[in-house]
Amino acid sequence: MTQVQIYDKAMCCSTGVCGPQVDPVLPKFSADLDWLKAEGHDVVRFNLAQDPAEFASNATVQQLLTDEGVDCLPLVIVDGRVVSRSEYPSRENLALWTGTAMKPKATLPVSGDSGCCGGSSDCC
């Protein structure tokens, strides 16, 4: 099982998906983290406003904050290694970093040469 830690900027709630102006990236990223959890990974998310002790207790996070300030957030750490900073990664990147297989995207069916209705030309 892979451990994924996310260190977010200060937000009003743990996911940042509340308030009058929600960044559209945040709900998608929250869904991606739920997907990782469902795949069996240990996912923990820390919010600077609500979990400052977690930021202070992690030497890597503390050093990046000292060097770069809060502009380095969000930080994504997988098994102790910083894999992303300053932006929320895609589900594809999360899958790559955790070794999680992604199911192929569904495609729309394509009609054959015989027409969309199995050979009947008067149904479409």
Pairing of strands 42-47, 3-8: parallel
| Element housing 55 (H / E) | helix 52-57
**For residues 73 and 8, is the Cβ–Cβ distance under 8 A?**
yes
- What integer pLDDT is reported at residue 24 of this predicted model? 82
Between these two residues, 27 and 104, which has the higher pLDDT value? Answer: 27
Q: What is the CATH number of domain 3-98?
A: 3.40.30.10
Give yes or no for a contact between 14 and 48, defined as CB atoms under 8 angstroms apart: no
Q: Model confidence at 53, in pLDDT bands (50, 70, 90)?
A: very high
Residue 83 has pLDDT above 70, yes or no: yes
* Every domain of the chain and the residues it spans: 3-98
List the 75-78 sheet strands across, edge first. Answer: 42-47, 3-8, 75-78, 81-85
Mean pLDDT of 2-19: 82
Q: 85 — phi, psi (to 5°)?
A: -150, 155
pLDDT tens by residue, 32-48: 999 999 999 999 999 99
Q: What is the pTM of this model?
A: 0.79
